[in-house]
Structure 1
Amino acid sequence: MKLEVEFWTLVGLLLGFMGFLFSIARLFLGQMEKRQMERFSRLEISLQNLNSLEREFLTFKAELPIQYVRREDYVRGQTVIEAKLDALYNKLEVVQHDKFEKDN
């Protein structure tokens, strides 16, 4: 069996096949670009969420010393208050003792 094809028919078939491959490649690249744009938009949204979380964390970090007292600072403050109360109690004892001696 012998198959004869003219040169221009072969060129036409070759050009048609190359056009088909080119259109498939364009379609494939378009799909890739669409997926890439979706991925970039999701990444951009997550970056915005990350920036808002970072801003919120920095705000929390700035407010933390205002709202909370460290244990050591609380103990130090309580020690000062208790020392002042002890001094006041001692003065009241002296005044009461002097008053009691005056009355007797």
Structure 2
Amino acid sequence: MYARLSMFRLKPDAPISFAEQWAEKTYMIHRSLKGFKGITFFGEEITNEFGAISYWETKEDALAAGDAIEVKVYSTLSKTYIESPPMIAIYGVYDLPKGNGELIFSGKFNW
């Protein structure tokens, strides 16, 4: 399995409701794409940093998703409120065996 990380910062005058609209539209597009397994959205209102981690069956699925997402989300809905193009990265995912606890990350990204 692979994870696709997308991070961006909203412009200072952007309404926080934009992040919710972005998440809803992004989810609708993701769920229609090949290999999609799930998505988690996150954000920080003080710094205007927002993002998503989506999960994909293969690395190829995660890479291919980028084209559809760019056309249907970032090129239309997002240009008005996002400061710069989103930072995108793809990672392999390590799953812990069931019953062995969970991995938790707590911290802040430095832009």
**More contact order relative to length (CA 8 Å, sep ≥ 6):** 2
Larger relative helix fraction = 1
Name the TM-score, length of structure 2 as normaliser: 0.18
Q: In terms of Rg, which structure is larger?
A: 1
Indicate the structure with greater strand content: 2
- Using the size of structure 1 for normalisation, the TM-score is 0.19
